[in-house]
Structure 1
Amino acid sequence: MKTSWKPGTMIYPLPAVLVTCGTEERSNMLTVAWTGTICTNPPMCYISVRPERHSYAMIKEQMEFTINLTTTAMARATDWAGVRSGSDYDKWKETGLTPVAGQKVSCPSIAESPLSIECRVKEIVKLGSHDMFIADVINVLAEENLIDPATGAFDLASAGLLNYSHGHYFEQGPEIGRFGWSVKKK
């Protein structure tokens, strides 16, 4: 039996990502769980950020950001970057993460991230508590050791990705199927 629950954001789990923004000279990172893909062709994604966050102004000014997927090894840094403000701390120094110059954006990516997605903001949608930055994906930086040199297949599942679910962090579990496996002929 189900009971009515107050309306809220209950779509979990989500990726726990670190979004980097700003410039090489003045950059920051923030933890975001409200992110996702919104279009394949052209490739587009979004992040939702509270306007009072320190990084919000940097993203709005540069109109660029990088989504860095996180791993279980990055869990402490991911949480720390989400509960401390870049106006009070140098998050690079405090987390021990390594900035890498962006290839097609002004902001850095994170060396320890297995996948970094460089984005250019296309539109900002004011929603209420958060504003949604809708962005074009202009470059993807993938950790080479996750790419099979023979097939070119990308094995992101072995990266140990971090997920967020209703206030808690989790590692991904074992694979239970592959897209289309339920209808595949034997």
Structure 2
Amino acid sequence: MKVFHEISVTDLHDNVFTEIGERWMLISAEKDGVTNTMTASWGGFGILWNQPVAYIFVRPQRHTKAFLEAASHFSLTFFDETQRKQLSYLGTVSGKDTDKIKDVGYHVCHEEAAPYFEEAQRVLICQKLYHQDLSPDGFLDAECKKHYPQNDYHTLYVGKIVKVLEKDA
């Protein structure tokens, strides 16, 4: 088992556009002792309410949404390029239908009530602070609505980044 060490959130220097938008991340939470995860490429980091936060978006039909609703914490995990096939699978197969975490051979660890994966390169542990469903009335640019042909508007979650873990070299 590879070991992680904690770093300060201010030591994060990777390009968030590349990390989230191109390399993707896993959003993971736990409910009733069961872990669920999904691949995501929408979200970001910043400062809100004078604290470091991550924000993510989850559609209502995603199985992971019920886990996020039930949990006080969630994790965002980032991987190297060797895990692209696994991330693709985790983003297209529902945890309702199969144990997809077992299917890809990942091993679940826990920190601050949030599950994460031993195979990750970086882990952000987040405490939920806020959530709200996006409303079609809020879109100022009609182009944005094209992402919702089924009117399945995302829920926005904001989490305080309480811990950042990096895999030891």
Is 1:103 the equivalent of 2:111? yes
Match of 2:39 in 1: 31
Letter paired with 1:132: L
Higher relative CO (Cα under 8 Å, sequence separation at least 6) belongs to 2
Alignment of 1:86-125 (within 5 A): 86-100=95-109, 102-105=110-113, 107-125=114-132
Cα deviation for residue 63 of structure 1 reads 3.0
Which of 74, 91, 102 is the equivalent residue of 1:82? 91
Counting strand residues as a fraction of each chain, which structure ranks higher? 2
- Deviations along 1:65-114, whole A, 9 cap, x unmatched? 100012211101100000000100101111111111x2212x31111111
Letter paired with 1:94: D
* Shift in alpha-carbon separation, 1:63–1:52, aligned structure 2, 3 A: farther
List, as ranges, runs of 4+ consecutive aligned residues in structure 1 with deviation greater than 6 Å.
none
Letter paired with 1:71: D
* Shift in alpha-carbon separation, 1:24–1:144, aligned structure 2, 3 A: farther
Q: TM-score, normalised by structure 2?
A: 0.73
Is 1:21 the equivalent of 2:29? yes
Measure the CA separation in 1 of the matches of 2:32 and 2:82.
24
Measure the CA separation in 1 of the matches of 2:73 and 2:97.
22
Runs of at least 5 residues in structure 1 that lack an aligned partner in the other structure: 1-11, 146-186
Runs of at least 5 residues in structure 2 that lack an aligned partner in the other structure: 1-16, 136-152
Match of 2:146 in 1: none
Letter paired with 1:141: L
Give the structure with higher Rg (CA).
Answer: 1
RMSD over aligned Cα atoms: 1.7
